Chain A
Amino acid sequence: KAGVTQTPRYLIKTRGQQVTLSCSPISGHRSVSWYQQTPGQGLQFLFEYFSETQRNKGNFPGRFSGRQFSNSRSEMNVSTLELGDSALYLCASSQQGPRNNSPLHFGNGTRLTVT
């Protein structure tokens, strides 16, 4: 079974631009969560999608948005990039999501650098 796939692996953008990150979950998994990982803040929850609906949202500004498609693939968009958005963005899929104690399966992440 293929694991969680995130594309691209690396991105370099300049301030003010926008970016879209993609995540393909494990086949059969309906929940996709996104996390931001930085050395100072650790892993911070962005949002969770389940069956194309946002089920949970973390404490991030509206510049961070996402969506999920009918095949469970998910995209995350960040608009008006700031230097502080530089981070590793991780996607995790699970069958039912963390509320059902389903284990999360993480991708290798997309490393975003904003200059």
Chain B
Amino acid sequence: GNSVTQMEGPVTLSEEAFLTINCTYTATGYPSLFWYVQYPGEGLQLLLKATKADDKGSNKGFEATYRKETTSFHLEKGSVQVSDSAVYFCAGYNNNDMRFGAGTRLTVKP
């Protein structure tokens, strides 16, 4: 079946540090891949997406590249800010099946 695995948190970084949150998927075929973010007190919202291999999704300084050879969609940001503190969810959609990772809590300290 389809599944999404992301690195467990929590992750604590200092402001301006480099961020990577790993995400890998298992699916028959090639799913569409997403990163969702949940800021404190708010609902989940789409951060970025990629619908085919080698696509790069980007938004708010975050990037993720759909790597077919490693079945990965790692989230990266070159310089995090305190306002990036949130829970990040990797997700994949394939064959009418939407799967989310367990979520990674990021805390950025000034």
Which positions in A face B, CB cutoff 8 Å? 3-4, 33, 35, 42-45, 55-56, 90, 92, 98-99, 101, 103-109
Contact = CB atoms under 8 A, between A and B. Distances in A.
27 contacts: A3-B43, A4-B43, A33-B98, A42-B101, A42-B102, A43-B89, A43-B100, A44-B100, A45-B97, A45-B99, A90-B43, A92-B44, A98-B32, A101-B32, A101-B49, A101-B51, A101-B93, A103-B46, A103-B49, A104-B36, A104-B44, A104-B46, A105-B43, A105-B45, A106-B43, A106-B45, A108-B43
Interface residues of B, number: 22
A106 B44 contact: yes
Nearest to B93: A98
Contacts of B36: 104, 106
Q: What 8 pairs across the A-B complex have the smallest Cβ distances?
A: A43-B100, A106-B43, A103-B46, A106-B44, A42-B102, A98-B93, A98-B98, A108-B43
Main secondary structure of the interface of B (DSSP, over half): strand
Interface string B69-91: 00000000000000000000100
Contacts of A108: 41-43
Contacts of A90: 43-44
